[in-house]
Amino acid sequence: MGKSGLNGFWTRAQKQHVLILASGDTIRHMNIRPWMAGAAVTLAAVGCIGYLGATSYLVMRDSLIGASMARQARMQHDYEDRISALRAQVDRVTSRQLLDQQVVEEKLQSLLEQQMALSARSGKLGSLLDRAGDVGILTSPDASQASSEKADVSEPALNTSAKSNRTKLFGAGLQTSSSTETVADNADRVFQNVTLSLKQIQQSQQARIQSLTAQATEKANAIQAILDRNKIKLDSPAAGEDAMGGPLMPADPKLGFAPTLAGLDGALNRLETARDTVKDMPFANPAPTHEITSPFGNRTDPLLGRLALHPGIDFRAATGAPIKSAGAGKVLVAGEVNGYGNMVEIDHGQGVTTRYGHMSRLNVKTGDMVDEGQVIGFAGSTGRSTGPHLHYEIRRNGVPINPMSFLVSGLKLKELGYQ
């Protein structure tokens, strides 16, 4: 049973398939063996697989290409967005830099204006301080301080070139500033320091000028009081010196320093006028260190022995002792005059004249202009005299007055530094 069953199966398996091909009268047949069927099936399977693979490849390639193009498009958009953001950032930085530069330029211009104003004022202040020294209200230490003050403002704090200004003012500060501090912030800090320095200079100048103005006013008032006691008026200013004018306009608060200079200028003008008046008037002693032997007023005449008016004062002086002019003026008389001997009469203005009598020899002539303290002659005993001495008179409008008032005032003026 077993063998017959296997033989039957094998017999069925060994049956061959015949492929018949007919073409017209020609008939051909081909035995299809199992391996040929397997090969055909294999080739068919390979072809299907190849077809499916090619199709899948084409589909996947299109998908990959599309995905790649989409990715490239996204990258391009990202780059464009980044570039746009960077451009916007650059624009903002540039705009900020332009604004910072504008702020710096404006502040620099403001500082330049302040510096130029201080420099201009320093020229006027320098001349005023020189005048203050001339009239004796500026001592040596003050002069040194004034020189340093003038140097502070006359030495330019800023250059005229904006670029060099920025380099000079902000070079060190900007290099050391933190990364979070902008140029404008650093410029503000530096400008505040420079502005504070300029303000301190201005305040120092104002305080100095106010002090000098007070001193000049005080001395002018003191001299004015002395002149008033002696009925002397201040000399009138030269024509045009006090001439002023112009349209009335509102005050500029930026020019608040000018009135201080004007006040000092006015006080110095008044003090200089008073000083010049003092130099003209006979406040000096014509024979310093010499004793007064006969005062002004009624006395017993040394020659007649009866009461008589002595219109001046007598100074004991040896023959040949120098006699000095008590003030500046013009010589009206220089020669021998009855009773006075060799006499010099000097006109000091405002109706005030001085007479110097009994001199042995004269040192001036009529018409000469003399200065205060100038030697005009030498003591002697010419004319109506009992011995060598100087007869000194002061007359106002031709009327003799007591010279002691002028001599005492001269001592007070000497204390003030004007004799």
- Please check whether residue 400 lies inside any domain of the structure: yes
- 166-193: pLDDT as tens digits: 454 444 444 444 455 565 667 677 777 7
- 382-412: pLDDT as tens digits: 988 888 999 999 999 999 999 999 999 999 9
The structure tokens listed for 260 are 């201080």
At residue 198, the pLDDT reads 73
- 329-341: pLDDT as tens digits: 999 999 999 989 9
pLDDT at 152 over 50: no
- 39-85: pLDDT as tens digits: 888 888 888 888 888 888 787 877 888 888 888 888 888 888 888 88
- Please check whether residue 282 lies inside any domain of the structure: no
Q: Total structural domains in the chain?
A: 1
- 12-27: pLDDT as tens digits: 555 666 767 777 777 7
At residue 153, the pLDDT reads 42
Range of the domain at 313: 292-416
Q: Answer yes or no: pTM beyond 0.85.
A: no
pLDDT at 218 over 60: yes
pLDDT at 32 over 50: yes
- Please check whether residue 114 lies inside any domain of the structure: no
HEC string of the chain?
CHHHHHHHHHHHHCCCEEEEEEECCEEEEEEECHHHHHHHHHHHHHHHHHHHHHHHHHHHHHHHHHHHHHHHHHHHHHHHHHHHHHHHHHHHHHHHHHHHHHHHHHHHHHHHHHHHHHHHHHHHHHHHHHHHHHCCCCCHHHHHHHHHHHHHHHCCCCCCCHHHHHHHHHHHHHHHCCCCCCHHHHHHHHHHHHHHHHHHHHHHHHHHHHHHHHHHHHHHHHHHHHHHHCCCCCCCCCCCCCCCCCCCCCCCHHHCCHHHHHHHHHHHHHHHHHHHHHHHCCCCCCCCCCCEEECCEEEECCCCCCEEEECCEEEECCCCCEEECCCCEEEEEEEEECCCEEEEEEEEECCEEEEEEEECEECCCCCCEECCCCEEEECECCCCCCCCEEEEEEEECCEEECHHHHHHHHHHHHHHCCC
Q: What is the mean pLDDT of residues 302-309?
A: 81
CATH number at residue 300: 2.70.70.10
Q: How confident is the model at residue 364 (pLDDT cuts 50, 70, 90)?
A: very high
Q: How confident is the model at residue 259 (pLDDT cuts 50, 70, 90)?
A: low
pLDDT at 121 over 80: no
- Please check whether residue 7 lies inside any domain of the structure: no
More confident residue, 64 or 230: 230
- Please check whether residue 143 lies inside any domain of the structure: no
At residue 258, the pLDDT reads 58
- Please check whether residue 307 lies inside any domain of the structure: yes
- Please check whether residue 398 lies inside any domain of the structure: yes
Mean pLDDT of the chain: 78
Neighbours of 256 (CB within 10 A): 11
Q: What is the mean pLDDT of residues 218-246?
A: 74
- Please check whether residue 312 lies inside any domain of the structure: yes
